[in-house]
Structure 1
Amino acid sequence: MQKKRKKKKMSEALQLPIVDLSSPDCISTANSIRQACMDHGFFYLVNHGVEEELLKEVFEQSSKFFSLPVEEKMKLAENNRRGYTALYAGKLDTSLNTKGDSKESFCFGPLADHLNRWPLEENLPSWRSIMETYHKKVLCAGT
């Protein structure tokens, strides 16, 4: 009986909401995203307008960045909410008794923002241009 319950709960947890950006109703779409974040923390995004090839490049470049030695990534340590955040350096849920979240991240803002921090071209030659292309594409998705 216990095994069946556990299996059912696991399969329910994998059923994430799907948010379709092709809908002309922006308010409804925003509400769907909000609800998905509140209920699940995650959601599938469809009809976002970003080509599979670009998504593949973004993941490849992200993998290259996060594979760099910690010392290299720390040269881009977060400043003004831009740059690299190390493993366990952030904590989204402050009510938990943990040392931090088991995730790394890299954040940048508007592309014209002088606060953005970027890896050196000689270390990751295509990284910035691919991230900027992706950023522009995501901002225009659904419009």
Structure 2
Amino acid sequence: MDADQPVTIGFIIRNCDGDFLLAGTDCCRAVSAEEAECKGLLLAVKTGICQGLHDVVFETDNKNAANYLAGIPASLSWSSVNILDEAKLLSLYFQSVCFIFCNRTGNCVAHTLATQRGASYLVPTLYHVPPVWLIDQLRRDNMFCNIANS
């Protein structure tokens, strides 16, 4: 991306056992893929708070974002740092929260959600139950991340 462009964000929130809690999509504007990923994390945090979740795990396929949120030095743009600082501050509302890196191979659910939505659909979508077309991908991602994090 070279300029501020519309992007579609997909996110999933799981519990510490990897079980589905919530998923959603929305549109925003971003100048880079990194910024879009950070805005997705912020949206997921805000949504989790609004839904009254307490113990959550947020996965991202952006290693720098995951490292930054874990307090590990990371190379990020100033705009991404500002977005993640807001996410970190808001995450204090949860009883327990974890931000983890999950390789894109094991994080296809967010991409699938964003692709299904399309950037032209402007109304945010929230799933309290996984849609049928997402169930197989949820199983594959959960299995991959459980193996990768063992």
Q: Shorter-chain-normalised TM-score: which range?
A: under 0.3
TM-score of the pair, normalised by structure 1: 0.23
Is the radius of gyration larger for structure 1 or structure 2?
Answer: 1
Larger strand proportion, structure 1 or 2? 2
